[in-house]
Chains A and B, each alone.
Chain A
Amino acid sequence: MKRRKWWLTAAGVLLTAVMLFPVYWMVNVSLTKTSSMRKSPPNLIPVDATLDGYSAVIHQQLPYLGTSLLVGIGTVAATLMVAAPAGFSLAKLRPLGGGGLSLLLLIAQMIPAIIMAMGFYTIYIKLAILGTVWGLILADSTIAVPFGVLIFTAFMSRIPEELLQAARIDGAGTVRTFLSVVVPVSRNAVVTVSLFAFLWAWSDFLFANTLDSGGGHQPITLGIYAYIGNNNQQWNAIMATAVVASIPAAVLLILAQRYVAAGVTAGAVKD
């Protein structure tokens, strides 16, 4: 029995290694010298590693990273402000037409982003807000808001009625109950929604490329895209930027793994 488990672990490690090989390769290429980039066969491990790629990131990509951070945080704020009250209402206050709204939110999640991008483009060009950071924040929030409402609704409907009743007996109005009772006990939902809203905004390329490609402040995805378009030779710089752009995903996975798993399954498995 013990022996079999050991074999399973070995097989598991092997499968994981195969699955994560592209991630390793990204790191490996980011450390490869430009002169050995076209070597055949390529070096499997970074034998004479260089940090040239990373120094290019520091010299050229920091403003892009800053913009991405700002867009990510803005998207989280916008998403929470719209989604949390709606989740509370749908879970606890039983608004007329709530069922229809939930249905609309499910459908909204399924509209291809390319169509949203086109609609936003024609509106933004008219209002002359193409290339603004907050315009991009608003567009990016459409990726997360429907998901956010669904998560908050599912989570808040599990809050015991007694807790809300106690607040009501203490004389708290609905707004007060929401802010001082419901939001604090929904911390897990807030974390899950924030995490995904940030990650999606950080990773967005389509909205950035259509709505912000002429802007003064561009996110990191456009930084990488410009690299790919301009200098085909500097793959260590491209991959170094890719490694740096992956840091939020890695950090979130380490710090908040259970929230990630909760978010993935939320839409698909009935609770």
Chain B
Amino acid sequence: MTAGRSRARSAVRHRDGAAKAAPSRARRTRLRHSTQWAAWGFIAPVVGYLAVFYAYPLYRNIDLSIRSYTVASFITGDAPYAGLANYSDIIHSSTFAPALINTAIFVFASIALQFTIGLALAVFFFRKFPLSGSLRALFLIPWLLPLLVSASTWSWMLNSDSGIVNALLNALSVGPVDWLTSPSWSLASVLIANIWIGIPFNLVIMYSGLQSISTDVFEAAAIDGASGWQRFWRITFPLLRPVSAITLLLGFIYTLKVFDIIWIMTRGGPATSSTTLAIWSYQLGFGSLLPDFSSAAAVGNVLIIIAVIFALIYIRVRSRLEAI
């Protein structure tokens, strides 16, 4: 949107310049050529960077996935072509279905709860009471901590014998729950930690969404006698729909990538009970003494396809909103 505005402004300026000075056509073309050179000179580093540090690793990843690489292949340099065999192997693997289902549960439960809690907190803090600004800033802490720090803290809090969570449950005469070591609770445990980390992001974005709504609308509704509850569902929520769409899509894409938290807390276990696609890919490539890079790359590429589909939806939604 900003780019569009500056383009329009510069077009006006060009027209002014032509009217006043009327430089020769040849000189103007030369000028345009030289600015194009400068423009490209300035983006050349990032283009080169993307080619070397994004395109090439991605290409290597695709190459890995259609060959059968072993550790020996790195030394000898040859790996037989395998076509789509690796993909067929992973789809028929007994880990595929649980990993896909766990990824879906992890992603949707995470973003649904992060978003709901984040939005509720944003509405709460928007009421501007003494200390609201400082408290809101403190809420950012979980998002800024290294993931490894948060994950190890939650591991110890959820420890079956000595964790504070089970001690609290015990005081309420519930439990104990084997949070990290029971297959029925491990996914819930990593979900709790991930939701905790994601709340600040949703809070900050939804808060800035609230700020962009004109106060006149709220005042008009208040004068018309709308209750707080009505104001939220009839006015605030509909007006927040664009920001919400963006937040949810970004949340989806970020959550799909989550690796550190699950790896530190459960390593995807017990068995496959908290294995997501990202964890499975890592397990195959780096998790054992006999790495299977080709299958790991194939799982990774399945993950990329899902991510890119949602990235394209995100870009579409974003540009449609900017056109409004």
Binary interface profile of A, 78-106, with partner B (CB < 8 Å = 1, else 0)? 00011101101111111110100101111
A54 at the interface (CB under 8 A from B): no
Q: Within A135-191, which residues are at the interface with B (CB < 8 Å)? A: 138-139, 141-142, 145, 149, 153-154, 157-158, 161, 174-175, 178
The residue on B at minimum CB distance from A44 is B164
Provide the bound-state CA to CA distance between A92 and B312, in Å: 26
A29: interface (CB < 8 Å): yes
Q: Are A270 and B45 in contact (CB under 8 A)?
A: no
> How many of chain A's residues have a CB under 8 angstroms from any CB in B?
104
State whether the Cβ of A20 lies closer than 8 Å to any Cβ in chain B.
Answer: yes
CA distance A32 to B9 in the complex (A): 63
Q: B35 contacts which chain A residues (CB < 8 A)?
A: 93-94, 174
| Alpha-carbon gap, A105 to B312, bound state (A) | 12
Instruction: Please state if B147 and A203 are interface contacts (CB–CB under 8 Å).
Output: yes
Cβ-defined contact, A142 with B144, below 8 A = no
Q: Of the 9-residue stretches A45-53, A56-64, A238-246, which lies at the interface with chain B? A: A238-246
Contact indicator A242/B46 (Cβ below 8 Å): no
- B167 touches which of A13, A42, A174 (Cβ 8 Å): A42
> Contact check: which of A91, A98, A161, A242 meets B152 at CB < 8 Å?
A242
The residue that B322 contacts in the complex, of A121, A161, A270, with Cβ under 8 A, is A270
Most chain A Cβ neighbours within 10 Å, of B130, B152, B212: B152
Q: Which residues of A contact B54 (CB under 8 A)?
A: 108, 111, 116, 142
How many whole Å from B235's CB to the nearest CB in chain A?
A: 19
What are the residues of chain B within 8 A of A175 when measuring CB–CB? 38
| Chain A residue at minimum C-beta to C-beta distance from B58 | A119
Q: Are B74 and A174 in contact (CB under 8 A)?
A: no
Name the A residues within 8 Å of B282 (CB-CB): 114, 206
Residues of B within 8 A of A104 (CB): 50
B243: nearest residue on chain A (CB-CB)?
Answer: A269
B110 interface contact, C-beta 8 A: no
Q: How many A-B residue pairs have CB under 8 A?
A: 305
Report the bound CA distance from A176 to B243 in whole Å: 39
CA distance A120 to B53 in the complex (A): 8
List residues of B (115-152) whose CB comes within 8 Å of A's CBs: 121, 124-125, 127, 129-132, 135, 137-150, 152
The minimal Cβ–Cβ distance linking B266 to chain A, given in whole angstroms, is: 12
Whether A22 contacts B53 by the Cβ 8 Å rule is no
> B7, B131, B243: which contacts A268 (Cβ < 8 A)?
B243
Knowing A41-B171, A89-B39, the reply to whether A115 touches B303 (Cβ < 8 A) is yes
CA separation between A23 and B6, bound complex, in Å?
45
- Supplied contacts A16-B135, A224-B149, 8 more A-B pairs, CB within 8 Å: A19-B142, A20-B138, A91-B3, A101-B47, A108-B50, A110-B253, A118-B297, A119-B61
Question: What are 14 A-B contacts defined by CB distance under 8 Å?
Answer: A40-B161, A82-B45, A98-B39, A98-B43, A115-B58, A116-B54, A138-B53, A139-B53, A154-B2, A158-B2, A203-B148, A221-B148, A242-B148, A265-B204
